[in-house]
Amino acid sequence: MKIVVAFSSPKRSFNTVELAARHAKAMNAELVLLRIIPDPEKVGVVAQLISSERPADTAQKQIDEVVARLKEQGINASGLVKIGEVAKGIMTTAEELKGDLLYVGTTNIAKRPMFLMKRDPIVRYLVDHCSISLCLVRRDFPSEESKSGSESS
């Protein structure tokens, strides 16, 4: 079994990665962290002007650190960074990797009334188009106590 996790950053993806890691460990599955960075040429002129290799380098460094932590826990983990259209890139890469399950973080509805919520276009696209099973994980940020404990590990 192969589990793919749509990764955005260690902090934002913490709960999603932790849940997917527990699942991967229980199922003796391979876990792939996937980060798609928006293509500056598709985002706009300002993004093109300020673009550099730094976003991809930073993303790869973050993924490498999380993968190392997962491997220390005995999980068969790897990471991948690509540049392109985020929603479509997540879907097509997960399919190319022959993923069995795609974990994606979602916004937390508990802190906002429904009528104030913005739609998450990436999640909406994946729900509507992805051919593999999705596991949507609410992105509740850990409390300050658990954040300091998780960052030090």
Q: What is the pLDDT of residue 112?
A: 56
At residue 143, the pLDDT reads 38
**pLDDT tens digits, one per residue of 114-152:** 544 456 788 889 999 999 999 999 866 443 334 444 444
Q: Count each helix (H run) and each strand (E run) in the chain, helices first.
A: 7, 5
Q: What is the pLDDT of residue 45?
A: 46
Band of residue 23 on the pLDDT scale cut at 50, 70, 90 = very high
Please say if the pLDDT value at position 90 is more than 50. yes
- Helix, strand, coil abundance in the chain, percent, nearest 5: 50, 20, 30
Three-class DSSP category at 73: coil
Greater model confidence, 42 or 90: 90
Element (H, E) at 80: strand 76-83
Distance CA 30, CA 32 (A): 7
Cβ-contact 79, 66 below 8 angstroms: yes
Cβ 92 vs Cβ 36: under 8 Å = no
Query: Domains of the chain (ranges plus CATH)?
Result: 2-152 (3.40.50.620)
pLDDT confidence bin for 109, thresholds 50/70/90: low
Apex 141 CA angle, 7 and 1, nearest 5:
40
111 vs 97, higher pLDDT: 97
pLDDT at 42: 62
Q: Is the pLDDT of residue 26 over 50?
A: yes
Residue 65 backbone phi and psi in degrees, to 5: -65, -45
Q: Which residues are bridge partners to 124 per DSSP?
A: none
Q: Specify the pTM.
A: 0.79
Rounded (10°) CA dihedral 53, 55, 57, 63: -160
Model confidence over 30-78: pLDDT tens digits?
999 999 988 766 655 444 444 555 778 889 999 999 999 999 999 999 9
DSSP notation for 27-48: HT-EEEEEEEEPPHHHH-HHHH
